[in-house]
Amino acid sequence: MNIVKDPQELRERCRDWQRRGVVTGLVPTMGYLHAGHASLLRIARERAARVVASVFVNPTQFGPGEDLDAYPRDLDHDAALAREAGVDVLFTPSAEAMYAPGAATWVEVPELSKMLCGATRPIHFRGVCTVVSKLFLLVQPRLAVFGEKDWQQLAILRRMTADLGFPVEIVGAPIVREADGLALSSRNVYLTPEERAAAPHIHRGLELAASRVAAGERDAGRILAATAAYFAEKMPSATPEYLACVHPERLFALDVIDGPALFATAVKFSRARLIDNRLAGVTATPS
Ligand code: PAF
């Protein structure tokens, strides 16, 4: 595995693969890799002849007062995990290399970026779309793999890729969970032991919501109220930042569940803000 810091060097390597028709897979990450990232790398490894993973804590997707400086970093560990997962090139640029002084161009999908996480993180998805576009232009991958835990990010990146005509297949990877159901996240390290014990209730609450749909409940408001009550009882020290039932692709809020639906939440603990989601909903019965 090669570790490359220089965007130009990455571009040249990938251009060479491109010229020779080598299928390249990209896995963008912010590092502090865990088993969830390993599953993304595995998917890329299965689908592509060459795999590029990036480790870049992208400053433009953090708002003022968010955890940019505190975001956990461990490049030695990341390199070992990436090597083990069969990554060919680990791209670890500096912020200065990714954003020239005076850079003033953004890529943004406003229609899908205002709700859910976007309601409290107004510049977040603009930063994500911009950096992912830059990575697409450098690597020219045939496919790129993103985790379904960040469902809104995945929906936005699918839209962006289609709208801008990037010839990249966006592959969504299922959420990887601890044995007790907590979704893996680099931010789980921020949890206190008590919070860690309570946090699996995020997943359980969302499962309960999906089971209500499976049992025939169609009123999203009633399900959300019951889920909020479950969260309040089981995680009294945590605050749900949002708890919503939305259309899985277009992300607008659903009142009545008469098709596919996504339950999504962000829950704030003392330092950690954790997101999770559960696809549920009704499949049309053939007439
Ligand atoms: O999901 C992430 O880790 C980041 O948002 C991404 C896609 C690597 C862009 O910085």
Q: What tens digit of pLDDT does each residue of 106-145 get?
A: 999 999 999 999 999 999 999 999 999 999 999 999 999 9
Helix (H, G, I), strand (E, B) or coil at 69: coil
Q: What average pLDDT does the segment 268-276 reach?
A: 98
- Under 8 Å CB-to-CB from 187, ≥6 apart: which residues? 67, 72, 272, 273, 274
Contact 283, 258 (CB under 8 A): no
**Tokens encoding 178:** 């601890």
pLDDT at res. 281: 83
| CATH code of residue 162 | 3.40.50.620
The mean pLDDT of the chain is 97
Domain membership of residue 179 (yes or no) is no
Contact 127, 30 (CB under 8 A): no
Residue 153 sits at the vertex; the CA angle it makes with 149 and 157, to the nearest 5 degrees, is: 130
Residues 27 and 90 in one domain: yes
Residues 15 and 138 in one domain: yes
Q: Residue 65, class by beta-carbon neighbours within 10 Å (0-12 exposed, 13-18 middle, 19+ buried)? A: exposed
Task: Give backbone dihedrals phi and psi of 54, rounded to 5 degrees, phi first.
Answer: -110, 145
Q: What average pLDDT does the segment 49-68 reach?
A: 98
| CATH code of residue 238 | 3.30.1300.10
Ligand 1: which atom is nearest the Cα of residue 150? 1
Residues 62 and 84 in one domain: yes
Please say which residue of 173, 198, 217 terminates a domain: 173
pLDDT(286) > 90 = no
Residues 113 and 234 in one domain: no
Domain membership of residue 286 (yes or no) is no
Domain membership of residue 218 (yes or no) is yes
| 153-192 confidence digits (pLDDT tens) | 999 999 999 999 999 999 999 999 999 999 999 999 999 9
Distance, CA 128 to ligand 1 centroid (Å)? 6
Q: Which of 138, 146, 185, 186 for mutating ligand 1's site (highest number of atoms within 8 Å of CB)?
A: 146
- Under 8 Å CB-to-CB from 241, ≥6 apart: which residues? 120, 265, 266, 267, 268, 273
**Tokens encoding 21:** 């028709």
Catalytic residue positions? 37
Ligand 1: which atom is nearest the Cα of residue 56? 10
Q: Which domain does 26 fall in, by range?
A: 2-173
pLDDT at res. 220: 98
Residues 95 and 128 in one domain: yes
| 212-239 confidence digits (pLDDT tens) | 999 999 999 999 999 999 999 999 999 9
Distance, CA 176 to ligand 1 centroid (Å)? 16
Please say which residue of 143, 173, 203 terminates a domain: 173
Residues 22 and 124 in one domain: yes
Number of domains observed in the structure of the chain? 2
Domain membership of residue 285 (yes or no) is no
Please say which residue of 129, 145, 173 terminates a domain: 173
Residues 46 and 98 in one domain: yes
Residues 28 and 162 in one domain: yes
Q: What average pLDDT does the segment 205-216 reach?
A: 98
Q: How far apart are the two ends of the chain, measured CA to CA in Å?
A: 54
Residues 143 and 261 in one domain: no
Residues 60 and 161 in one domain: yes
- Answer whether 124 contacts ligand 1 (Cβ < 6 A): no
**In this prediction, what percent of the chain has a pLDDT beyond 70?**
99
Domain membership of residue 181 (yes or no) is no
- Answer whether 128 contacts ligand 1 (Cβ < 6 A): yes
- Answer whether 58 contacts ligand 1 (Cβ < 6 A): yes
Q: What average pLDDT does the segment 88-98 reach?
A: 98
Helices and strands counted in the chain (H then E): 11, 9
pLDDT at res. 282: 81
Residue owning the nearest CA to atom 1 of ligand 1: 29
- Answer whether 152 contacts ligand 1 (Cβ < 6 A): no
Q: What average pLDDT does the segment 92-112 reach?
A: 97
**In this prediction, what percent of the chain has a pLDDT beyond 90?**
98
Residues 165 and 191 in one domain: no
Contact 123, 63 (CB under 8 A): yes
Residues 8 and 122 in one domain: yes
Q: What average pLDDT does the segment 7-18 reach?
A: 98
Domain membership of residue 70 (yes or no) is yes
